[in-house]
Structure 1
Amino acid sequence: PAVFVYIFLGLYYATGRGSDIRLAQYLFAGLYLLNLLLVFRIYCRTNKVPPYVFFFMCCASYRIHSIFVLRLFNDPVAMAILFLAINLFVEERWSWGCLLFSLAVSVKMNILLFAPGLLFLLLQRFGLLGCIPKLCICALLQVVLGLPFLLVNPVGYLTRSFDLGRQFQFKWTVNWRFLPEEVFQNRVFHAALLLAHLAGLGLFALHRWHSSKENILTLLKDPGKRKPASPRLTVNNILWQAFCVCPLNASAWIVFILFSSNFLGVCCSRSLHYQFYVWYFHTLPYLLWCTPTTKLAHMPKVLLLGVIELCWNTYPSTVCSSLSLHICHGLILLQLWYGTAPTPVSHTPPPSRKPTAMAKKAQ
């Protein structure tokens, strides 16, 4: 996509036409630190993950360090912009967040795995009519950024930049090594994965993201005309409402929906190559700790992170490593499904900061 070309063209000239690789590595090291800062800021807003987990996120992944500083892939660039967009979403700055989300898509298409969750959040927050301007921001930016290519070869740009039918090479797959290559390349298998992905998104949207007793189609209504959400009376929900303030609650809910949307896409991917680890590495701690420890204790969660890291560090991938990766993904999905998701809040417009007439009289 266009922004990928612009960024790496800039790197090409900044490094003396690609001759100063060390400078490029320094720049990507800075990007790595910025990415960590953005992720930590999200985690601090949600207050879900214990502090010791941040050590594993910073220091325990050789593969992530390699993807950022040694390989210089575009995946980290896209994810850093994406995490900046999520920071804006949790601050209720939706228009700017959508702008940066679209910018991240124009670096690498994997960001679209977050799109179902974002669409759900936009509908929940604004309704159908209010959602349309936000979607127009995303679409318009893609047109503007891609204009130099669309004017010359629109078909070539769209089909090659956003190639949904791309065939992956079996030798690089991390997650499907246990399958015969004929099955891995089979279009029927790809269609089955797509159906599984859509089914997973549908189930989570109906039963995990949408907790209101009303029909999910009420998301199309204006938020002011909906009935307030009525969460189940569980001990966790009562404690959450008693001890958590509203902004924290909303932040946790936004992050849960976006991260779980992306994780479902990763689980159903036709192939995961080694650089794709960065697509969800920084979201794994939240996915593991967003549910109560009664569903999965702290130590098994840390062990799951360790096994996933081992699977991604096994080169070339083996039958055992790819099977283990799927088992870990399955366990995370199960604990997300049976765990208690954060309680949603009623998305009413924020109160005006202007003093009311009564307040002026009181002054």
Structure 2
Amino acid sequence: MTQVSIYLSGERNYLNIKGDTGPIVYPSGFLYLYTFLYKLTDGGRDIARAQYIFMLVYLSTLFFIFKIYQTIRAPLYTYFMLIFSKRLHSIYLLRLFNDCWAMLFSYIGVYSYVQNSWILGTLFFGIALGIKMNVLLFFPAIIMILFQILGLRHMLYHFFLIFGIQTLLFIPFISYKKEYISRAFDFSRAFLYEWTVNWKFLSEDVFSSREFSFLLLFIHVLILFIFSSTLWNRISGRSLKELALSLLNTKTLFINKVYKTSFQTQRLIVIILFTSNLIGVLCARSLHYQFYCWFAWSIPYILSQTRIHPFFQFFIWALQEYAWNVYPSTAYSSIIVIMVLISVLFLLLIRC
């Protein structure tokens, strides 16, 4: 709220907008959203009202996740994993992070895609990106889905829409555009070792090294390639090479491929979006406790699609919950975090 008060005082230079947690590192959608909350909660002093608002955000997110699960006919037992997460309850009702809002809009975007509301889905992904940059983890999936279902021309329209949303959010800061971009979309930001949930089994020197950062980027790209060429391309039934070659064909700009998706395609849309996000989480430079809400909603369904026995699905989910509730994180809990993510993605890849 300190950052919001500085913004409300008329400051538009992102370098000068700071708070108790340091300088602002989010796109301006965060400021607009928390300005609204600032006014609703008497400058952040009415904590109880803020918690009620975030309770509504939690319930709204749960509603859209339920709608997604219902549409793709997720097994009934997966719903129990959704509602019994202690860490999610803490993030939404006690911590009041902007991650909660970004993921609400992201999952509305997922639901919109499943319902063939393509423009609406992209609109919500664009809004979510304007609140927090982690939404970019969905973008490899968005590219694969829109290109295979709508074609190149329509895919480009959708990305123009996302760019337009970011431009509109940016306008009040146009006098300090360099400062805004360097803070709001800082890909080189360093993370503190003491707060990492996923890499505590490494030494601080390794964690902070550029070599480790580049290794994670390489692994990220490699896993995206593997999933794109084996699972994500099932929507069109074409190989990744064929899809890539079609990009070079200018005629694809004029092909209209819009059609109503089947149940199987709806299921693939969800799997592609969920796994794209999960791959990004696995290869993240650092995960903090609030980042759990980025992907925890997707784990029950992804586990169900691995087709392992429900007992083992619950066991893996429980391990994940345990690791994310260890505070402060330890080498042991971090190993569990990483191994669960690897196991879920590997099992999905070989069994889905």
Q: Which TM class, normalised by the smaller chain length?
A: 0.7 to 0.9
Offset of residue 247 of structure 1: 3.2
For 1:284-331, what per-residue CA distance to the aligned partner results, in whole angstroms no more than 9, with x for missing partners?
A: 01111123x2xx211111100000000000001111111112111121
Distance in 2 between the 1:50 and 1:134 partners? Answer: 32
Instruction: Give the gaps of 5 or more residues in structure 2.
Output: 1-26
Q: Is 2:179 the partner of 1:164?
A: no
Offset of residue 92 of structure 1: 1.2
Paired residues for 1:1-363 under 5 Å: 1-47=27-73, 49-58=74-83, 60-149=84-173, 151-211=174-234, 212-214=237-239, 215-217=242-244, 220=247, 222=252, 247-291=262-306, 293=307, 296-340=308-352
Offset of residue 127 of structure 1: 2.1
Instruction: Give the gaps of 5 or more residues in structure 1.
Output: 228-244, 341-363
Comparing 201-210 with 35-44, greater Cα deviation is found at 201-210
For 1:196-245, what per-residue CA distance to the aligned partner results, in whole angstroms no more than 9, with x for missing partners?
A: 00111011101111132552325536499799xxxxxxxxxxxxxxxxx9
Give the structure-2-normalised TM-score: 0.86
Give the 3-state SS of the residue equivalent to 2:175 in structure 1: coil
Sequence identity percentage: 37
Q: Residue type of the partner of 1:57?
A: L
Distance in 1 between the 2:167 and 2:132 partners? Answer: 15
Give the 3-state SS of the residue equivalent to 2:231 in structure 1: helix
Q: Residue type of the partner of 2:312?
A: P
Q: Residue type of the partner of 1:52?
A: Y
* Contact 1:128–1:219 under 8 Å retained in 2: no
Say if 1:226 and 1:28 are closer, same or farther in 2 by CA, change over 3 A: closer
For 1:78-104, what per-residue CA distance to the aligned partner results, in whole angstroms no more than 9, with x for missing partners?
A: 000011111111111111211111100
Say if 1:155 and 1:53 are closer, same or farther in 2 by CA, change over 3 A: same
Give the 3-state SS of the residue equivalent to 1:31 in structure 2: helix
Say if 1:225 and 1:128 are closer, same or farther in 2 by CA, change over 3 A: closer
* Contact 1:206–1:216 under 8 Å retained in 2: no
Q: Residue type of the partner of 1:320?
A: Y
Corresponding position of 1:241? none
* Contact 1:170–1:181 under 8 Å retained in 2: yes
* Contact 1:218–1:226 under 8 Å retained in 2: no
Say if 1:223 and 1:121 are closer, same or farther in 2 by CA, change over 3 A: farther
Give the 3-state SS of the residue equivalent to 1:168 in structure 2: coil
Distance in 2 between the 1:139 and 1:213 partners? Answer: 29
Q: Residue type of the partner of 1:157?
A: Y
- CA RMSD in angstroms, aligned pairs only: 1.9
Distance in 1 between the 2:127 and 2:280 partners? Answer: 20
Give the structure-1-normalised TM-score: 0.84
Q: Residue type of the partner of 1:41?
A: K
Distance in 2 between the 1:249 and 1:45 partners? Answer: 11
